[in-house]
Amino acid sequence: MRRRSVIPLGLAALLALPLAVLPESEAEAADALVSAGKPATASSVEGSGFAPGLAVDGDRATRWASLEGVDPQWIRIDLGAGHTLSRVKLDWEAAYAKTYRVQTSADGTTWTDVYSTTTGDGAVDDLAVSGTGRYVRVYGTGRGTPYGYSLHEFEVYGSPTGTGGGGTGPGVPFGSHLKPYAAGTLKPSGAQSGIDQKVVDYYNRWKAAFVRQNCGNGWYQVISPDADHPYVAEAQGYGMVIAATMAGADPDAKKIFDGLVKWKIDHPSSINPDLLAAEQDVNCRSVNGGDGATDGDMDVAYGLLLADKQWGSTGTYNYKALALKHIAAIKKDELNATTKLLKLGDWSSSGDQYYYISRTSDWMVDHFRAFRAASGDTTWDAVRTAHQTQIANLQSGYAPSTGLLPDFVVDTNTSPKPAPGEVLEDPNDGQYWWNACRTPWRIADDAVTSGDAKSLAAARKLNGWIKSKTGGDPNKIAMGYKLNGTQISAGSEAAFFAPFAVAAMTDSGSQAWLDALWNKMVATPIETGSYFSASIQLQVMITVSGNHWVP
């Protein structure tokens, strides 16, 4: 049989890896091969020397081959136990499949498609898949040649089901796309592997700029050169979510995450020790009373839940237990029990002037869903509903033409409204300013992951306005707006333009707009003096690339 030329192994492996920044050994660890040497069966064999087991022997000089000229044909691997799958790699011989499906099964009888094509062209097919099962098979229905079907290697990558990584690797490695978004969600144009790689590139620059071990003691910190103090809870929360999400792309992700966990444990809030103190000085000591800030605590708890799903909770730290304590502490001291809206921090209590003020950028709806799932506490359903109701009311009542939210909302116990002026930080506390700039990202994060109608409506209102306001040019997104859409400040800042990219994902007519926003993010150098903008853009890129998921 005439052999078809294929890409040499070394080059094929390089091209197949979306996370090319990793050395080969680390990439393999991030995305475990689970099919090597496992039992394989097939619908037919061409003859002696072409047994199905030769497709899982790791030797590309051998191959399985089916009978020639007969459709359909299949080859099946028994992984021995249920697995969560992230990738299937098929190294075809000259006799390849033009039309075929990759399928999984729990029992070897009922099959589910995780990939299908009618335009196969042979050589090497490196496929990102999402599914679970004990059995994996390639089911060919249309040959690409007059011969049969033949595979040098049939490789399946993933992890044992329910291990959360089992201590051997992440349960949801970056780039695996095991958690699909709601139907109809847009993504940037282009190959998925290239999109993922842009995120990894930006992450590596962010990590070099902001991730530190300045204080010894086994701690990691995310520095905040543009904040009031070198270390703030918001930055540590961002760092925990990012590190857990980038597992599989960064072999040091777990080490960094654990260092951030140790920092959190060793810097407790003076009011509720299960929360994180909001600010630390150059000597790594908590200052300004050592109390907690809601925004940082929300992300710390969410990051711990991600870590539990990634690595399990039987290692150095019990991530799940820490998360549940943190969630309970947020409920106790950072949630207004009357309004079910988040407070500014654990330092605000009944009777003070801040008790009925809330910051819209803290309204992380997907976090509320995760807290509900992890804790089983139905309070979080009421909390989610309360925040979604206020988003809708603020958009319709105070920004009907723009959908913009203010930095702060006052009078949450009576008639919630934008702050009338400076109530905490700035004369623009009632405008779309340096806090609320994150709300398109936070709202749309829930829209794309849950498909929730309320989140979709809010995100689409924001997207429609900003696309029209700028004429589809992301360079015209200003730094801040009044709620009626009047620009506050000129210039371009990632904290303001990046979040709109997530909102753009929710509108089927915004592909060109999304591509323009993505291209602007990719072309924007990281601002090493601003953890705020860089961290926001990185998390937006994670979502836009399809890598954000809700534990």
The whole-angstrom separation of Cα 479 and Cα 492 is 6
The whole-angstrom separation of Cα 362 and Cα 264 is 19
Q: How many residues does the chain have?
A: 551
The whole-angstrom separation of Cα 213 and Cα 250 is 17
Q: How many secondary structure helices (H) and strands (E) does the chain include?
A: 15, 14
The candidate with the shortest Cα–Cα distance to 379, out of 435, 338, 420, 414, is 338
Report the catalytic residues. 234, 295
Contact of 307 with 319, CB cutoff 8 Å: yes
245 strand-pairing partners: none
Q: Whose structure tokens read 């075929």?
A: 100
Contact of 463 with 510, CB cutoff 8 Å: yes
**Alpha-carbon distance values, 20 to 24, 27, 350, 445 (Å):** 8, 8, 53, 27
The whole-angstrom separation of Cα 463 and Cα 450 is 18
If you ran DSSP here, which 8-state letter would residue 52 be given? G
Contact of 297 with 330, CB cutoff 8 Å: yes
Gyration radius (Cα) of the chain, Å: 25
Q: Measure the N-to-C terminal CA separation of the chain; round to a whole number of Å.
A: 50
342 strand-pairing partners: 335
**Three-class secondary structure of residue 205 per DSSP:** helix
75 strand-pairing partners: 42, 138
The whole-angstrom separation of Cα 304 and Cα 236 is 12
Contact of 127 with 87, CB cutoff 8 Å: yes
Strands 408-410 and 358-359: antiparallel
User: 528: buried, middle or exposed (CB in 10 Å: 19+, 13-18, 0-12)?
Assistant: middle
Contact of 19 with 138, CB cutoff 8 Å: no
